[in-house]
Each structure stands twice: as C-alpha cells, then as structure tokens.
Amino acid sequence: MSFYQLLEHTADLGIRVWGRDLKALFINSASAMYDLIVDAKTVRPVKHIKINAKAQDRDELLKNWLSELLYYFHVKDTIFCRFDIVRLDEKNVVSIVMGEKIDKDRHSLQHEIKAVTFHALNIHKTDNRLSTDIIFDI
Amino acid sequence: MINAYNGPLEKIDNYRWRIPKSFMVSMRVDGLIYANDKLIDSIRKDSALQQVANVATLPGIVKHSFAMPDIHWGYGFSIGGLAATDIEKGGVISPGGVGYDINCGVRLLKTDLFEKDIKLKLKELVYGLYYNVPAGIGSKGDIKISVKEEEKILTKGAAWALSKGYATESDIEHTEDRGVMEGANPDAVSERAYERGRKQSGTLGSGNHFIEIQVVDKIYDEKAAGIFGLSKDQITVMVHSGSRGFGYQICDDYAKKMVHTLSKYNIKIPDRQLACVPLDSEEGKLYFGAMKCAANYAWNNRQCLMHLVRQTFEKIFAKSSQALGISLIYDLAHNIAKLEKHVVDGREKVLCVHRKGATRAFGPNHPELPQKYKDIGQPVIIPGDMGTGSYLLLGTQAAMDETFGTTCHGAGRCLSRKAASHNYTVAQVKKELEKKGIAIMAAGKNTITEEAPGAYKDIDDVVDAVDGAGISRRVCRFRPLGVLKG
C-alpha cells in the first residue's frame, strides 16, 4: 500500500505513514495498523462503533485514538476496515468505525499489535503532506 | 529510520565500553556497555546506544546507565538495559524502563528423562504441547477465572496456582520472590487491564514467547550442575512468557498519565516513552502497586503454563510428574522494577532497579536465594534463539559489586522483523531446524520467519561477554529439540 511503508526496527514493528491532511493521516494510520493485523480485504463492515479520543496534542491524539481502536481488538475481538472521522482538531477526535468480530475461518491474523508507543511519533509536514513514524509493540 | 550511533564510545577493557557523560549536557552519569568486540560492531548499527545515553538523563540515576551485551533498540529505553535510581534523591520510576510486558520472564524445568528416552516421542510431545497450551494471537485460556479470582492472582501471584493444585510448594520455593511481590494494589489497575487479563490466564501469547524442550549439551561447572540435578543429555523444558495483555494495559495507562505529569515534577526527558515520576510521588506509588499486580499475574501465568507442560508429559509418558522427575530449577523476571538494597560508594541504599531485558543475578549467600542455591548464587536462565541454544548461568559477587546484581537476558535481536521475513521463508527455516533434529509447531503465521535463528545475535557471544566480564558464570548449555512458538 502506498500510504504507508514498513520501517526497519530491531525489536518491534514500525511504519511511516502519510496523509494529505490530519484527517487522512489518521485514517491511513488506522488502515495501516489493521493491514498489519489482518488481511484487510477479508474484513466486512457489518457493524459500526463510535470511537472518541482526547489528548493534549495531535501526536498524543493519534496514539490515543489508535489505542482505542486496539481495545476492541484485544477485548471485544473486533477488527475494523472503514474509518470515518466525524470531527477532528488537535486535541479531540470523534469517529465512526466499521468492522466485524474476528472469525478465525475467514480472518488470517498476522500480527498481534499489543500497544502503540510514543517513541517515534512526530506528525510533521513533508512534500505538502503530513507524515509520522509509528512504532507498535508486538 | 535505523540511525547508526555516531557518539563517543570508549573501550575500557575486552568486555566494557563507556559513553562518557560529556556526550550530552543532560546526562547525569556515564553509559556502561558490556560487550565484546564482535557484539559492539552490531550494537553500534542502530539507535540502542543513543537510548543508553538518554536513560542516563533520568533524575536520581546512580552509577551508570547500563547495557548488557544483548542490548538492542527498543522504544525509550533500549532492550537489555539496567537503570537504578536513588529514592532519597528524587529517584524516578518509569513504566518504559520496565516495558510493556511486565515480568516477561523464563522458567526452567528439569526432568529425569534423557535424550534417548524421548527421541521417538519428540514430535508427539511438541504436538501435545501445541494442543494443550493455548498460544498465538489473542489466545484465551482454558483456566477460567472470575473477577474475584483475578484479584487474588494479582495480590498472591503463583500462590494462586498452588491453591488450585497447579503448583507444588517446591515450585514456589524456586521462583524469584517466591512468585509474589508484596504491596500489589489492585485498586491501581484500570478496568481495561482487568478485561484484557481475565481471558488470558494460562496462555503463552505470541511473538517471541515459547515453550522449548531442550537437552543438556555441555556442562561447564560439574559441581553446580550437580546441585541442579543436571547431567549431560538430560531433558529440560524452558517456558518464556509474561503478563500478556494485562501488563501491556498497565504500562500503556501509566505511560500516558506520566507524560502529563512531567512538568509537575519538572522532569525533562529526550523521548516521551521515557516518561517517569519520582517513586515517592502519589503517581509513582500507584504505578508501582499496579506493576506489582502484573508481575504477580505473570508469575502465576508461567506457573499455570508449567502445569500444562506437566500434564502433557504425564499423558504422553503415562507416568506421574513425580515419576518423571519434573521439578522447577528456577523462574525469573527480565522486565521489572524492584526496590533493592545495594551498596553505592560504600553506603547501603534502597534503589529502584529497572531491569528491561536484563536478569537479576544475585551472588552467593544473598538472603533472597532459596536455601539450595545459597552457596552457588542465583540461577540465571538465558534463552537463545530456537535453532541454537540456551544457557544456565549463576549470579556472582562481581555482579553485586558492579551491576546491582544484574546480567543479560537472551540473545537479543539483530535483524528487524521486516528483514527477517524478507530473508527467510517458513519452509526454509523449518528445513534448517529439521536438519538439526528440531521439531517445531507455531500458532502464528509470521512467527517462524520473524523469529528465525538468523534474526538473533549469537547467544554464545552474549554469554561469553557476561562470563568474561564476570557478572555471571556458565553452568551448562542446552540444545533445543522441540519448540512451541506462540
């Protein structure tokens, strides 16, 4: 996928992700995260859930929002494939995400992303786009 | 993304290297790295040494920011790092200095079986473990627990397993801290952590976690091996797992909180993942109380996994665990923070010792040791990659004097997961292992390539460095026979 690339990180999984604006960067980060977890093409948008997050700045906001999404993976066995950002500023995000419960017959799980780290997060402008690195603990 | 380290690095002797504190104005102490010439070349290639320097900026840090020879790039702290802070001097505690997988650790079981006894049963044993031990992504345990039971696990640790018949008194006796840290505070644990933990008791997990059937390949110290009841060609089992999603959630909850309290305590750090608070603060006490819950969860979990290993052996050999001589040599944590008494500049002090990818290695006669090991020192279990070997070492007085009784924790990765998946195929790795007579089962699709032996440093080099430096000494080396990967 062209909106993100895998980075070399010795211990964990790292990605570099791009978006034309903050909203696109958030959506692309979430899409990339689920692309690492499962073959995204196999996930059907059968239920939708409202997911909000708050933070003190946009780097932390992205981390907190991705962590909220992961909560549904860890506790509710739910994975997502569509992300609709309803409202977004530097400190708040309101989103409606769509996906379904994990079905081991249809979903081949690839990585267990256990946490999103702060380590390399730094949303910045590059070539008229926004970009950041994200390191996931697996 | 991978930036090689370009800062200063001074060779002290064949096994010690220094990053002088003059490297960065904010460094409070020197960085001290244990490695031989071969390992240091690989260590320089990523940002791990920069992270050693960053850790040296933490308030209250004493002596050095240490790195073991298996050090590699983590987030915030490097993996293979050791940092102790002085509580009296505003010393901090950092969730990042413990890591997400709180009390990730290893346990080593001995059996009275020898290689010839299991040769024909090896595949059956590995399949047996595969079916008996829940492993892999999001695995859930057969050991079902209620909210009340979960609280008991958090405060009692491995004693919970004992009360349910999943442990013997001797297992508890041979676990670091007897499998429980006192002062665990279940009220400091979020509802989310409870939710993640409840389903996962008695599960192995994914990634680098494993259960491995091994054989004693080489003995370096006959006397110590005798005390462990080990001789050449004898079968042992190693279990590597941690606190599962429970510990991750605690680390995540508190790292998030501590990013917001940095200004309150006037703490400046070069990386948010190093977020910390004085241990003596309200937030510090809450994190420590929650961390202890996760440590206790992990000790109980590894004990439950041992119970499943016992069941598997009993079924396949149609003999009782006692008849097979299955007993615990030792269980230890390699991601943890602890309050310990150590002598600094001639004075005994209470320090908060963070071991992240580092193992406690107390020398002989330490009061914390089980009676059986008083004369020889603490057993130190060092797992290698799945194709090479693992070691049993002993803690030394030199470790007490130099490294707050600490040594390395494993081989340490040298290749990223991306590079490993690119370099190897599942068939290739399986073939290579089969050639060595090693049977493998893996729950995860990517685990076999990402955890390929070539993705790790040479365990023999790592152990050579800690033995050469004197911070632990070799007892024996194990060769893998059968592996269950998460």
A133 contacts B259? CB cut-off 8 A: no
Segment B77-118, tens digit of pLDDT: 999 999 999 999 999 999 999 999 999 999 999 999 999 999
Interface residue A126 vs chain B (CB under 8 A): no
Output the pLDDT for position B416: 82
Output the pLDDT for position A32: 96
B446 contacts A111? CB cut-off 8 A: yes
Secondary structure of residue B268 in the 3-state scheme: coil
Interface residue A13 vs chain B (CB under 8 A): yes
Within-domain flag for B422 = yes
Which chain B residues touch A13 with a CB distance below 8 Å?
A: 417-418
Number of neighbours of residue B144 by Cβ within 10 angstroms: 11
Higher-confidence position of A13 and B321: B321
Q: Kindly tell me the burial class for residue A89, based on how many C-beta atoms sit within 10 Å of its own C-beta (0-12, 13-18, 19 or more).
A: exposed
B46 contacts A111? CB cut-off 8 A: no
Q: What share of chain A is helix, strand, coil (3-state, %, to 5)?
A: 25, 40, 35
Which residue is closest to B444 within chain A, CA to CA? A110
Contact call for residues B446 and B422 (beta carbons, < 8 A): no
Output the pLDDT for position B90: 92
pLDDT < 50 regions, chain B: none
Confidence class of residue A124 from pLDDT cuts 50, 70 and 90?
very high
Establish, for the pair of chains A and B, how many residue pairs have beta carbons separated by less than 8 Å. Answer: 106
Identify residue B321 by its one-letter amino acid code: S
Structure tokens that stand for A3 in this block: 């909106």
Which chain B residues touch A115 with a CB distance below 8 Å?
A: 100, 248, 251-252
Q: For residue A129, give how far its alpha carbon lies from the nearest alpha carbon of chain B (Å).
A: 19
Contact call for residues B471 and B34 (beta carbons, < 8 A): yes
CATH number, domain with residue B96: 3.90.1860.10
Within-domain flag for B1 = no
Q: For residue B152, give how far its alpha carbon lies from the nearest alpha carbon of chain A (Å).
A: 21
Domain extent at residue B299: 10-485
Is B174 annotated as catalytic? no
A74 contacts B245? CB cut-off 8 A: yes
Within-domain flag for B106 = yes
- The set of residues, in sequence order, having a beta carbon less than 8 Å from that of A30 and lying 6+ positions away, is A65, A66, A69, A80, A83, A97
Number of neighbours of residue B148 by Cβ within 10 angstroms: 7
Annotated catalytic residue within B240, B307, B334, B409:
B409
Output the pLDDT for position B67: 98
Output the pLDDT for position B413: 82
Give which of B225, B232, B212 is closest to B474, Cα–Cα: B225
A12 contacts B75? CB cut-off 8 A: yes
Interface residue A54 vs chain B (CB under 8 A): no
Least CB–CB distance from B416: residue in A8, A102, A112: A8
Which chain A residues touch B74 with a CB distance below 8 Å?
A: 11-12
Structure tokens that stand for A39 in this block: 């073959």
Rounded Cα distance between B293 and B285, Å, is: 13
Query: Strand ranges (DSSP E) for B20-165?
Result: 30-34, 64-72, 79-86, 92-93, 105-114
Confidence class of residue A104 from pLDDT cuts 50, 70 and 90?
confident
Number of structural domains found in chain B = 1
Output the pLDDT for position A96: 98
Output the pLDDT for position A1: 54
Reported ipTM exceeds the 0.90 cut: no
Contact call for residues B485 and B447 (beta carbons, < 8 A): yes
Long-range contacts at B116-119 (CB < 8 A, ≥ 24 apart): B116/B233, B117/B235, B118/B213, B118/B235, B118/B481
Number of neighbours of residue B224 by Cβ within 10 angstroms: 22
What phi-psi label fits residue B178: left (phi over 0), alpha (psi between -120 and 50 degrees) or beta?
left
| Mean pLDDT on A85-106 | 95
Identify residue B395 by its one-letter amino acid code: G
| Mean pLDDT on A21-34 | 97
Structure tokens that stand for B311 in this block: 């069941």
What percent of chain A clears pLDDT 70, i.e. is strictly above it? 99
Rounded Cα distance between B27 and B21, Å, is: 5
Choose the mutation target among A10, A16, A71 for the interface with B, i.e. most B CBs under 10 Å.
Answer: A10
B251 contacts A9? CB cut-off 8 A: no
Domains detected in chain A: 4-137 (3.55.10.10)
Segment B345-388, tens digit of pLDDT: 999 999 999 999 999 999 999 999 999 999 999 999 999 988 89
B75 contacts A118? CB cut-off 8 A: yes
Contact call for residues A31 and A43 (beta carbons, < 8 A): no
Within-domain flag for B73 = yes
Residue that has been written with the tokens 């008229």 in this structure: A128
H helices of B235-335, where?
Answer: 244-261, 282-317
Rounded Cα distance between B48 and B410, Å, is: 16
Confidence class of residue A45 from pLDDT cuts 50, 70 and 90?
very high
Output the pLDDT for position B3: 79
Least CB–CB distance from A14: residue in B1, B76, B195: B1
